[in-house]
Each structure stands twice: as C-alpha cells, then as structure tokens.
Amino acid sequence: MTVEGKKILLGICGGIAAYKSADLASRLKKAGADVSVVMTESAKQFIGPVTFQGLTRHRVYDHVFLDEKEGQIAHIDLADEADLMIIAPATAQTIARLAQGFADDMLTTVALATKAPIWVAPAMNVHMYEHPAVQHNLQLLESYGYHVIGPAEGHLACGWVGAGRMTEPADIMREIESQFSIQKLSGKKLLVTAGPTKEALDPIRFLSNQSSGKMGYAIAEAARQAGAEVTLISGASLADPKGMTVVHVTSAQEMHDAVMQRFATCDAVIKAAAVADYRPEHTASRKIKKSDGPMTLTMVRNPDILKALGEHKKDQLLVGFAAETDHLEDNAKKKLNSKHLDMLVANHASDGFGSETNKVTLYFADGRKQALERMQKQQVARHICNALSGLFEMSVSK
C-alpha cells in the first residue's frame, strides 16, 4: 500500500520553511495522493495560496468562514475525509495553540476535529525550539497521539546553527509512505520487550544498564498504529502507552517468565529490551554496609530469553537487538544465526542509549541488510515494523 488515493491534509504555518511545503505537496501529488492544503494567515506572508492551488488542483483552505457549498461544513468535511494530517512547517505559535486545544483558525479547527493521525514538523530558531515552553508543548502533543518529525540540525535562516530546520520534504515523504505501507500488521499479535532489567544486590542497590526503553516503546506504538494487537513487557520507568497491554517486570527472570508465558499465542516477538546477562548469586536481605578493602561479588548467568525463543519458535517471527561497542557486523551476524532470528537490529552502543535518535542496521536471515540513517526513534520503529510486515508477507508466500 502506498499513498496513492490517500487523502492528505497539509497544514502550513508562517515560517521561512513554508517554501519546502510546495515541494512536499508536489511529491505527494505525484505519488497519487489527494492533497488539500490548509494555511494560516501568517503562512500566506511567505508563500501564496495560488501556488498550492496549482500543485494540488484544489482550493486552499485559509479561513473557517468560507463560501461553502450547500450542506457543507468545510472544516468538518476535511477532518472526516483525511487519512493523515501533516503540519509542515509547524511554528512555535501553532504548536502552542494545538497543545492548548485552540480552534481559532481553519488549521487548528480541522486538527481538533479530525480522527486521522496528525504529524507536526517543527521549524524555528534553535533557541525557540529548545525553550522549555516549546518542549513542554511538543510533549503534550505527543501525549495526545501526535507524531513529531524532526527538526533536523544545521544552518538556520536566522544565522544560527542547531536544531530547528524543518525535516526535508524527501524524508517526510519517505516516512509518509512508510506509514501507509506498514498497515499489514493488522490482525497480528506482537510481543515487544523494552527497557533494562534490574538485578537486586540488596534491598536498596541493584545492577542495571543505560537502556531507557524509548526504542522498545516506540516500536510498540508503531506496531499498534499499524493495526497489531500489542503486548509490551517493560522494565522501563516510562508512562504506559495507550491501546495495548503493558506488563511491568523488574529482573531478567521476571522478563523471561512473562515472555515465555505469552510466546505461544503471539505471531512475532520484537525483543528490544536490554536484559542483564548476569545477576548477583546472592541478594542480601539487608543493606550491605561498606567495609575496608575491596568487595567481591559472585555473578551467575541469567536465562537467555532470545535463545530460548529461538529454540521454541514454530511459526513465529523473531526480531532481536544488538548494541555493540566494536565489530558490529560480525557480532550482529553471529547473533542472528546463533539465536535463530528472522531479523536483527544492530547499532553501536553510543548511537542509541538515552537519546531520542538512533542509527541502526537491519540484518535478515536471508542475508539481506538495510542500513538506516540516524533518525528519531519513532521513525526507526516504523522502519522496523515495515520490515516485519515484509517478513510476514514472505512467510505467507513460501
């Protein structure tokens, strides 16, 4: 499935990056999408509506009180018919209005009324973007279910260098195409693991790692948006995502038990969790007091969840992760084969832990590999789900 025949609402705000929206509208139209443009008043100070009328072959919507056809309520009809609404560029002003639920122009009114996914591509000065108010508003939008694309880093029109550039239309286009191509997960039952495990040393201390769980949560959300029935098994301290079953665990043994109990009834497992390989042999019942000299700690192996899944899988697809400090490809291929995986997502340890972005390479059991550029973890998640849907298609055709 591509964007052909999809009804796309393109919202345009008042910023210098508005010229890029013409490129995006053109790309969408050439790909067969039915594009309608909604502009703010300030957007028209940077680029004229006639440009978008020519590109889309539709009138441009720039005011709530239009000369409407009989029986038509323009902003409701636009909202109801849309398959996707993308606001690019999205200024700090419009982001704030969306976050607070304003409906004081055509763009915000349509955004409130639509049930379609809404994406925003911020574009502004780097210091504006980094301001706590803007970051808070973006977080609010994400909590509402909005998807934030970018911004990219680089030279800005204001002369500063940093985050604030609107994501390039070609990159946005690829992401839109990916969004519609991963709908094939509808009806699939997915098990996703996320976050670190914590291995208790005593009632106060534990051993763990730097995983935040953000990658696993992004995958779970992308799979849910693609129509999958998702169970997320998490060792992370993140808010529960909506629309899925969330199982909280602490230790590697707990995660092992939770996964194995549900494995037989799922169609695929995406094991993004960073599970501890070892745990203390003994957990003290009381706080360990410091003493003179070194402390010796005996460690024992935790169960290898991925290996157990590989040994017990039947028709399920199995996706693993590998974070390496060196010899990335050699270690990735070794893990892919030894754990009987269908796909492995590999990255250098410095590329993903604790950040909002990741740079990964996908390795497949049939020898293929796909190297992705550095991008937001939500974008990486959609690529992973897209690849998984391809594996499902291949398994059906065999």
pLDDT tens sequence for the chain (398 residues): 478 788 899 999 988 889 999 999 999 988 888 899 999 989 998 899 899 888 888 888 887 665 555 445 565 777 778 888 999 899 999 999 999 898 888 899 988 888 888 999 998 888 888 899 999 999 888 888 888 888 876 666 656 666 778 888 988 888 888 777 656 788 899 999 999 999 999 999 999 998 899 999 999 988 987 889 999 999 999 988 888 999 999 999 999 999 999 999 999 999 999 999 999 999 999 999 988 889 899 999 999 999 999 999 998 999 999 988 889 899 999 999 999 999 999 988 776 566 778 889 999 999 999 998 888 788 888 889 989 988 998 876 65
The per-residue pLDDT for 301 is 96
CA atoms of 96 and 124, how far apart (whole Å): 13
Q: Is 339 annotated as a binding residue?
A: yes
Domains of the chain: 7-181 (3.40.50.1950), 184-281+295-397 (3.40.50.10300)
Least Cα distance to 95 among 47, 63, 62, 133 occurs for 133
Q: Is 277 annotated as a binding residue?
A: yes
CA atoms of 18 and 390, how far apart (whole Å): 35
The per-residue pLDDT for 248 is 97
Neighbours of 40 (CB within 10 A): 23
Distance of CA 59 to the CA centre of its chain: 33
Beta-strand ranges (E) seen in 176-252 are 189-194, 199-200, 206-207, 229-234, 245-248
Which of 13, 158, 266, 385 is an active site residue?
A: 158
Active site residue 13: no
Q: Is 304 annotated as a binding residue?
A: yes
Alpha-helical regions (H) of 16-152: 18-30, 49-56, 74-81, 92-99, 106-113, 126-130, 132-144
Our CA angle for 5, 117, 101, nearest 5°, is 135
Asked if 38 contacts 61 with a C-beta cutoff of 8 angstroms, the reply is yes
The per-residue pLDDT for 227 is 84
- 117 upstream amide cis, omega within 30 of 0: no
Q: Is 305 annotated as a binding residue?
A: yes
Q: Is 257 annotated as a binding residue?
A: no
Q: Is 328 annotated as a binding residue?
A: no
Q: Is 52 annotated as a binding residue?
A: no
Q: Which residues contact 37 (CB under 8 A, 6 or more apart)?
A: 9, 10, 11, 12, 21, 25, 49, 52, 53, 56, 58, 60, 61
Pairing of strands 161-165, 189-194: unpaired
Report the residue count for the chain: 398
Query: Which secondary structure element, helix H or strand E, spans residue 350, and what is its range?
Result: helix 349-352
Q: What share of the chain is helix, strand, coil (3-state, %, to 5)?
A: 40, 25, 40
Cross-strand bridge partners of residue 122: 90
